Amino acid sequence: MRRPRAVRPQLEAPQHPGPIRTRDPPAVPASAASHGTLSHPNNDGSPVITTTDLTKVYRTRDREVTALDGVNLHVDKGEVFGVVGQSGAGKSSLIRCVNLLERPTSGTVSVDGQDLTALAGSGKRASRALREARGRIGMVFQHFNLLSSRTVLGNVELPLEILGHSGQERTRKAKELLDLVGLADKAKAHPAQLSGGQKQRVGIARALAGDPKVLLSDEATSALDPETTRSVLQLLRELNRQLGLTVLLITHEMDVVKAVCDSAALMKGGRITESGTVAELLATPGSELARELFPVGGAPSEPGRTVVDVTFHGETTTEPVISKLSRTYNVDISILGAAMDTVAGKQVGRMRIELPGSFDDNVVPIGFLREQGLTVDVAAVADAPVTDAPATDAPGTDAPGTDAPAGRGEALTEEDAK
């Protein structure tokens, strides 16, 4: 299955040989790079959630706000897909349009092969067919939304009541779900007696009451402390694997993407500027999401140096590649920054190194790194120092170096070119 992907380069740099692929947002072509096959068993490569040219415009008396601007999204069966972006990027509008809590201004939304926008009808009330379709989509909210007057068991039973289940069946199913999320001993407690993490687990159990195929998570961990966040994310991953759930979550936290996501998309200004599996993103030079997942800093220490970002994944994380490069080509390498973490269950590292000389001087060493299976992204090429041209002995006498502008080619300015 192909997923659109547009990658924005970090900065403008000289054209380099090798497989550096960049593409200018915001347009996201349907024929963009392929979507890799995920490693976990629930995925069969078929899309469960698809949005096509999705637009949402909020109108007031005196202005319009475009929250979604032609969003194309594909979430494959059985994967955990994260949409990441800053506040105001359009994430919440997107996830609320997926189950039509917000009706799109234009475009289509399909879930499990069913076009939900076609079921919406023209009235304000949802059609019966849309309500039935929503029953197969669970949603977890940021602020829990539990009824304080009901017990934990009663909160989980609520959607089953709405669906018309008998009292005995409601109780049986709700107890099973509480056991699944680790709260079997809290059935008779009230929300006020629970911690934030426990409340969110109740919210997750309630979202699973209708046996959904899709689970939507709207910033479900943003109000939780780091330790509780990790436990809730672990629960979502376990449910994804045990129940075969497809999970679409939105977040502004990169740690959430690193912890549980198989794939991710970056939203800015109501548009998806980049998407793909996490492995694809980390292997794509210029990927903004990859840089934010593994931020490494460091500028050239002096003119005439080349700064390169190197991403290690798979078996390369345990290989002494940088040491081998230094010995093979007798080159001095400075490490400006490094980060290593586990992403989607695999160890990934990112390192920023500095090489002496211009990019042209380092074509072979950079090629060597790529041959070792590393992703290489040229972050900066510092200009070489400008030196005065040697004086001539007499007019008309050529001296070495006087035919070229002062300094190396990297230091040429537009005025020099004129």
Is there a single domain that holds both residue 317 and residue 280? no
* Tokens encoding 253: 């936290």
Question: 208 burial class (0-12, 13-18, 19+ CB within 10 angstroms)?
Answer: buried
Residue 34 carries which DSSP code?
B
Is there a single domain that holds both residue 123 and residue 232? yes
User: What is the rounded average pLDDT for all residues in the chain?
Assistant: 79
Q: Is 362 domain-assigned?
A: yes
Is there a single domain that holds both residue 123 and residue 217? yes
* Tokens encoding 347: 């160890």
Q: Please identify, among 236, 266, 289, the residue that sits at the C-terminal boundary of a domain.
A: 289
Is there a single domain that holds both residue 131 and residue 53? yes
Q: Is 279 domain-assigned?
A: yes
* Domain encompassing residue 71: 47-136+212-289
Is there a single domain that holds both residue 251 and residue 328? no
Q: Is 72 domain-assigned?
A: yes
Is there a single domain that holds both residue 273 and residue 322? no
Question: Does 88 have pLDDT greater than 80?
Answer: yes
Q: Output the pLDDT for position 383.
A: 63
Is there a single domain that holds both residue 103 and residue 233? yes
Q: Output the pLDDT for position 315.
A: 73
* Tokens encoding 311: 């991403």
- Is the pTM higher than 0.85? The answer reads no
Question: Does 152 have pLDDT greater than 50?
Answer: yes
Is there a single domain that holds both residue 122 and residue 251? yes
Calculate the alpha carbon distances from 61 to 58, 64, 65, 114, 123 in Å: 10, 8, 11, 34, 21
Is there a single domain that holds both residue 57 and residue 127? yes
For the chain, what percent of residues have pLDDT higher than 70?
79
Lowest mean pLDDT of 39-48, 54-63, 117-126, 193-202, name the range.
39-48
Calculate the alpha carbon distances from 267 to 31, 131, 264, 272 in Å: 19, 28, 10, 5
Q: Is 51 domain-assigned?
A: yes
DSSP E strands in 6-115: the ranges are 47-59, 64-76, 80-84, 106-111, 114-115
Q: Is 391 domain-assigned?
A: no
Minimal CA–CA distance to 72: which of 102, 35, 33, 28? Answer: 28
Question: 165 burial class (0-12, 13-18, 19+ CB within 10 angstroms)?
Answer: middle
- 409 or 315: whose pLDDT is higher? 315
C-alpha 53/C-alpha 72 separation (Å) is 6
Q: Is 168 domain-assigned?
A: no
Q: Is 145 domain-assigned?
A: no
pLDDT digit string (tens) for 347-400?
888 889 999 988 888 899 889 998 988 888 888 776 655 444 444 444 444 444
* Tokens encoding 291: 């840089």
Lowest mean pLDDT of 86-100, 117-131, 234-248, 345-359, name the range.
117-131
Is there a single domain that holds both residue 241 and residue 315? no
C-alpha 124/C-alpha 59 separation (Å) is 16
Question: Does 13 have pLDDT greater than 50?
Answer: no
Is there a single domain that holds both residue 218 and residue 367? no
What CATH number is given to the structural domain containing 73? 3.40.50.300
What CATH number is given to the structural domain containing 312? 3.30.70.260
Mean pLDDT to the nearest integer, 154-180: 92
Q: Is 147 domain-assigned?
A: no
Long-range interactions of 67-72: CB distance < 8 A, separation 24+: 67/93, 67/270, 68/93, 68/94, 68/97, 68/104, 68/107, 68/270, 69/26, 69/269, 69/270, 69/271, 70/28, 70/107, 70/271, 71/107, 71/270, 71/271, 71/272, 72/4, 72/28, 72/30, 72/272
Q: Please identify, among 289, 323, 339, the residue that sits at the C-terminal boundary of a domain.
A: 289
Q: Please identify, among 257, 289, 321, the residue that sits at the C-terminal boundary of a domain.
A: 289
Q: Could you give the number of structural domains in the chain?
A: 2
Tell whether the torsion through CA atoms of 141, 75, 79 and 284 is positive or negative. negative
Mean pLDDT to the nearest integer, 202-218: 93
Q: Do 308 and 352 touch, CB atoms closer than 8 A?
A: yes
Residue type, position 276, single letter: G
Is there a single domain that holds both residue 323 and residue 284? no
Tell whether the torsion through CA atoms of 131, 136, 140 and 144 is positive or negative. positive
Q: Do 91 and 266 touch, CB atoms closer than 8 A?
A: no
